[in-house]
Structure 1
Amino acid sequence: MKLIHTADWHLGQSFHGQDRHYEHRCFLDWLLDELETRRPDALLIAGDVFDVVNPSMKAQELLYDFIVQVHERLPRLTVAMIAGNHDSGARIELPGPLMKRLRAHALGRVLWLDDGTLDAERLLVPLENERGEIKAWCLALPFLRPAEVTGSRAGGEIGDDYIKGITRVHEALISAAEAKRQPGQALVAMSHAHLRGAAVSEHSERPIVIGGEESLSAALFPPSIGYVALGHLHRPQQVGEPRIRYSGSPLPMDFSERDYPHQVVELEFIDETLERIRAIPIPRAVDMLRVGPAPLENVLEELKGLEVPKDNGISREAWPWLDVRVRLDAPRVDLRAQIEAALHGKAVRLICISTEYRRGNAKDEAAVTLDDLGPQALFERAWQREYGAAPDEDVVDDFNALLQSVLDAEHREGETP
């Protein structure tokens, strides 16, 4: 059995106010061709399919047109997709009955039965080979929100302990899968989570749980799970062992992600044994250029030297994104005008100008913008300024609990009934 693992598409992402529809369309066209060439038995999409809980019609059309085209080209291919923390679980599941006719399964939420046990059956997706034989089971675990796995909705015995709730879900689902599998059938888990020890990109992943508990243990996935297809972290990597890995995002979501490769993962099983894992590089449809940080005169010289003339025949939607970072001694009211003049006649899209200032006699200490800091860092700076000391761990945990309640409230407002 052959599978393709991908995640974190973030369809509909707004990149400094600009849409990335062209880049996502190029990726999905490439993926369609790769699927047709490699002919896997299943495609696993491990969450953050969309960038926001209320994606645009344009973003939704990209997804559903892709699923229809996949089924037209590869009628036997199974698609299994879960919701990530950026997605609305209800929205992901809404077209489920129609998608199943296209051999596509969309799981966005965990549900509990009247007796307080997990409805595990709905989270187990059979993966068939080209002869229609079930050769694996996909344990489809969407992003687990605290409200779904704690308190009375989780049977009343977990209380407010989020980690215990997550552990209970994993144990119940793995137990159900092990009971259902037959000899020769593999178990493949798909999850959208942050595992402890994994490398995080600089700016792109938002906090998803409270305190330090966004990091889960890889021990949640016992050796009986042949492969763990992870989503959420955008850097492709394995976590502890080759069978547990993030495929990474197909596009760099931020300039901090431009320097590492983007890929999907191909894996092959022989019966229950994982035989091979291969990374398939994704071609980049639009380049990401960064100039600086450097003094203004150096930045202007480098911009004038960019070899990207507008008459190169490339359509505007394929022009590179450009991030410019300038070191200044004092504000310059003509900064943007000078930069735009240096770019005259060049096929680039300037989307960000950042400035850094010298402070007194200090050595080139860079000014930090709001974009460079997350909510927790801003809170810690404010606390330090007010009280003259860093907040202790309990205060930070309380802040993150409040932050998560705000994020959850925003998510509920965006849910489709």
Structure 2
Amino acid sequence: MSVHFLHTSDWHLGQFFYNHSRHYEHEQFLAWLIQQIKDKQPHALLIAGDIFDVINPSSQAQKQLYQFLADAHDTAPHMQTLMIAGNHDSGYRIEQVEPLLEKYNAKAVGVIRWNDDKSLNTERLILPIYDVQKNIVAWCVALPFLRSAEITGLNDQTSTSQSAIEYLHHTLIEEAKRKKTPEQALILMSHAHMQGAETSDSERPIIIGNEEALSTTLFDDAIDYVALGHLHKPQKVGQAHIRYSGSPIPLSFSEIRYKHQIVDVRLDPQNTEQSYQFDAVAVPRSIQLIAIRGSLEDVFAQLQALPQGEIDEIEQREYVDIEYHTTQPPALNLRQQFEDALPKNRYRLVRISRQYLPNEQQPEQAAHLSLEPPTPEKLFQTLWQKQGYEADASVLKDFQLLIEQAQHALDDEPSA
């Protein structure tokens, strides 16, 4: 028996990019994905977390997801959609609509649940995948983002975050191995940061100093494929079958060169010659991100050389990020000068930053000034250091835990 599924993650529906909605770009991606489902007719679609960009997504973002699920079900009624919560998602929120999801042959796993005797509730975390004839062709261990407060202190095996993570993986994988037959595949879907993986600057930090990045030794050799979410760059981690699919659109200018994709996976555990096949399917980019770098003279030359041709809809215009290098303070009307140099009605200038170069008055290392607002972590570090303290790893870890707890507390607040 073989199983065929598509692996994707980190949609970040509802994201605003420098105050610009990404709704159009997500619409284009989802329409493209529906066409892939129509053409390929997989048994399952795996969405490995960060479905939404924020814990309390807008009604527009939620509608976008549920309309996709309805369209996907119409396109491939036999296909199951399996989703897990990422660190940007509210696990409780995505599980709230379970009756609606069932109508679309979809399942969401948002949180880890425990039995009355403090043992792990494995039933909700190990999901069967069926073929058209309703035969089980695979089992999927679905692990949402693991928040320390939800997994520690429940029993003797969960005294620390690390022991709890090891206990969860071992317990679930062993139970899944008991369920599966030799002809059925075993898949694990997780939203986590793995050791050795490459990050970008758009990913919300969920570890400090890489000390809590997970090891691939957590994954038993019996697992045929590990479908990862959280990191936006498509990549394998150590072995070919442990993969991040990456985000479908670039979520920051640092991701311009990423080859955004979904992974088309076919597994056949009984085929001793080729038990798996992974194909990266490139996602078309509907709106370009353009990074301009150099001296002011170079920047103006690059702006004036950009392709012409007006784009009527503002939300379909291309994004431009400028970093100019200078030894002098900027002119007061510099932004307007940049806007005037851009071809008319085609681009959105979303960020300007300057790189000061050393001169006679500044012999020391060049200072970089960004006009972006600081992240909570950077703001905390700056204020902490101004007080004369050193923000070491333990302090940053405690601060990150406070941020997680604050974000998680939003789950319990009623929507406005």
TM-score norm. by structure 2 comes to: 0.92
The alignment partner of 2:172 has SS state of: helix
* Offset at residue 113 of structure 1 (A): 0.4
Equivalent residue number for residue 173 of structure 2: 174
Equivalent residue number for residue 403 of structure 1: 400
Contact 2:352–2:371 (8 Å) recurs in 1: no
Distance 2:157 2:82 in 1: 31
Distance 1:372 1:358 in 2: 22
The alignment partner of 2:116 has SS state of: coil
Equivalent residue number for residue 284 of structure 1: 285
Distance 2:270 2:249 in 1: 32
* Offset at residue 345 of structure 1 (A): 1.7
Contact 2:157–2:167 (8 Å) recurs in 1: no
Q: More deviation in 269-278 or 66-75? A: 269-278
* Offset at residue 416 of structure 1 (A): 6.5
Distance 1:59 1:373 in 2: 25
Code of the residue aligned with 2:120 in structure 1: it is L
Distance 1:381 1:70 in 2: 47
Distance 1:212 1:226 in 2: 26
- The one of 227, 230, 240 equivalent to 2:228 is 230
Equivalent residue number for residue 125 of structure 2: 123
Cα deviation, 1:128-170, whole Å, max 9, x if unaligned, reads 112211010010100010011101xx225522x1111111111
The alignment partner of 1:24 has SS state of: helix
* Pair 1:250–1:117, CA change in 2 (3 A): same
* Offset at residue 407 of structure 1 (A): 2.6
Equivalent residue number for residue 259 of structure 1: 257
Distance 1:259 1:363 in 2: 32
* Pair 1:236–1:372, CA change in 2 (3 A): farther
Equivalent residue number for residue 412 of structure 1: 409
* Offset at residue 352 of structure 1 (A): 1.0
Distance 1:157 1:307 in 2: 60
Distance 1:370 1:347 in 2: 23
Equivalent residue number for residue 270 of structure 1: 268
* Offset at residue 372 of structure 1 (A): 8.6
The alignment partner of 1:244 has SS state of: strand
The alignment partner of 2:198 has SS state of: coil
Structural mapping, 1:82-161, within 5 Å: 82-151=84-153, 154-155=154-155, 157-159=157-159, 161=160
Contact 1:90–1:416 (8 Å) recurs in 2: no
Distance 2:65 2:335 in 1: 37
Identity %: 42
Code of the residue aligned with 1:87 in structure 2: it is D
Code of the residue aligned with 1:305 in structure 2: it is A
Contact 2:353–2:371 (8 Å) recurs in 1: no
Code of the residue aligned with 1:166 in structure 2: it is I
Distance 2:129 2:13 in 1: 25
* Offset at residue 371 of structure 1 (A): 3.9
Code of the residue aligned with 2:278 in structure 1: it is I
The alignment partner of 2:363 has SS state of: coil
* Pair 1:213–1:92, CA change in 2 (3 A): farther
Equivalent residue number for residue 302 of structure 1: 302
Q: More deviation in 301-310 or 105-114? A: 301-310
* Offset at residue 210 of structure 1 (A): 4.9
Contact 2:290–2:318 (8 Å) recurs in 1: yes
Distance 1:335 1:225 in 2: 56
Equivalent residue number for residue 216 of structure 1: 214
Cα deviation, 1:321-358, whole Å, max 9, x if unaligned, reads 11111223113211111111112524111111112223
Distance 1:352 1:385 in 2: 27
Cα deviation, 1:20-56, whole Å, max 9, x if unaligned, reads 0000000000000011101111000000000000001
* Offset at residue 406 of structure 1 (A): 2.3
RMSD: 2.1
Distance 1:356 1:306 in 2: 22
Contact 1:89–1:415 (8 Å) recurs in 2: no
Distance 1:200 1:92 in 2: 26
Contact 2:195–2:210 (8 Å) recurs in 1: no
Equivalent residue number for residue 59 of structure 1: 61
* Offset at residue 385 of structure 1 (A): 6.4
Contact 1:185–1:271 (8 Å) recurs in 2: yes
Q: More deviation in 349-358 or 129-138? A: 349-358
Contact 2:231–2:246 (8 Å) recurs in 1: yes
Distance 1:91 1:353 in 2: 37
Contact 1:47–1:82 (8 Å) recurs in 2: yes
Distance 1:381 1:315 in 2: 40
* Pair 1:416–1:192, CA change in 2 (3 A): farther
Cα deviation, 1:167-213, whole Å, max 9, x if unaligned, reads 11111111111111123111100000000000111x11111145534
Code of the residue aligned with 1:252 in structure 2: it is P
Code of the residue aligned with 2:299 in structure 1: it is V
- The answer for unaligned runs of 5 or more in structure 2 is none
Cα deviation, 1:49-98, whole Å, max 9, x if unaligned, reads 00000001111111000001111111100110000000000011111122
Q: Does 1:348 align with 2:347?
A: yes
Equivalent residue number for residue 76 of structure 1: 78
The alignment partner of 1:216 has SS state of: coil
Contact 1:210–1:401 (8 Å) recurs in 2: no
* Pair 1:346–1:300, CA change in 2 (3 A): farther
Distance 2:383 2:58 in 1: 36
Distance 1:344 1:223 in 2: 55
Code of the residue aligned with 1:299 in structure 2: it is V
The alignment partner of 2:74 has SS state of: helix
Distance 2:312 2:29 in 1: 18
- The answer for unaligned runs of 5 or more in structure 1 is none
Equivalent residue number for residue 361 of structure 1: 362
The alignment partner of 1:127 has SS state of: strand
The alignment partner of 1:219 has SS state of: helix
Distance 2:350 2:412 in 1: 31
TM-score norm. by structure 1 comes to: 0.92
